[in-house]
Amino acid sequence: MDDLLRETFARHEELVPVARPEFGESIAAGARRVRALRRWVVSGATFLCCALALLLVPLIATPHSGPPEAAAPGQPLNLLIIGIDRGVGEPARVNANAIVLVHVNPGARTAYEVTLPRDLALGLPGLGPQRADGAYFVGGYRLTAEAVADLTGLKFDGGAVVDIAGLESVTRAMGGVDLCAPECRRYEPREAVDRLRQSMGAGDDRLLHQYLAAVAKAAAEPERMPGLLTAGAEALELHLGLTSLPNLAARMQGVDPSKVTGIKFPAGGDGLYEAMRDGRVGAWLTAHPQYVVS
């Protein structure tokens, strides 16, 4: 039997054509394109989650809070933003698409974001080291925040979970949205969100800026405010840490969501976490320009 099997495999090997060198190169090129696409998807999701959090938190808080509390303008603000995308018909518990540290300097009206790698090992109680993107599936925002705090030594003032699928409600509250994607016209809610997903996959952030500008414009229209507040609350799950919602909103006022500075994840921290605690991120980036995301 063994001899028969060897003879059979030998005959089939003779029938298999020899792969030409360019065939292997084509496979390698395809793999590189897939890796690049994944990087762009994560980058787009990260930008969208950070910008929406910075845009919607003050919007949601202000109408319900009365006069803002003293904002302590010189005090830095550290947030944890988690991006998810339940999609259509997805289970309620999903992995995190993006886990982002956001540092806000209220006095300078600047914000910085650093994305944790999805495969970064986080220590989870009773489970040991686990992938960062799976921490949300296991224990939601709270467990993820605790694990990231243990890793970085940071105390988070608050944070949010941003559900990209929830943007359908935001778009519906705006009565649709005018986008050039690529045709310039008004897009219905589900169609607009699909276009956003496609743009993130293609690595084109122009559509994200268009959408955020449309949300900001709608927020300035009193007649759209009630519906937009309700929809924003659906897309944005707020988590308060060391500060109140009015204080959190007041300290985020004036920060332009489209001008958040990206920071490459520094393996081992390289002093970034200490700079975030002390409000010295700008100076840290000046001393470590290799971490600035262009």
Between 212 and 3, the more confident residue is 212
Listed residue (294, 217, 213) closest to 258, CA to CA: 213
pLDDT tens-digit series, residues 256-277 = 776 788 899 998 899 999 999 9
pLDDT tens-digit series, residues 147-204 = 999 999 999 998 888 888 888 888 999 999 999 988 899 999 999 988 987 876 676 6
Burial profile 237-272: b = 16 or more Cβ within 10 angstroms, e = fewer:
bbbeeebebbbbbbbbeebebeebebbeeeeeeeeb
Stretch 271-286: mean pLDDT? 93
pLDDT over 70 at 14, yes or no:
no
Confidence of residue 4 (pLDDT cuts 50, 70, 90): low
pLDDT attached to residue 176: 93
170 within 8 A of 164, measured Cβ to Cβ: no
pLDDT attached to residue 288: 96
Q: What Cα–Cα distance (Å) separates residue 84 from each residue in 107, 160, 161, 164, 235?
A: 30, 11, 7, 6, 10
How high is the mean pLDDT of the chain? 78
pLDDT over 60 at 70, yes or no:
no
Between 93 and 252, the more confident residue is 252
**Structure tokens of 176?**
């649709």
Confidence of residue 285 (pLDDT cuts 50, 70, 90): very high
**Structure tokens of 226?**
């009630």
pLDDT attached to residue 266: 93
Quick one: DSSP state of residue 68?
Answer: P
pLDDT tens-digit series, residues 47-61 = 676 777 777 777 666
pLDDT over 70 at 280, yes or no:
yes
Does the global pTM surpass 0.75?
A: no
d(CA 186, CA 275): 44
pLDDT attached to residue 31: 46
Query: What is the number of other CB atoms lying within 10 angstroms of the CB of residue 131?
Result: 17
pLDDT attached to residue 126: 83
pLDDT tens-digit series, residues 126-135 = 888 999 988 9
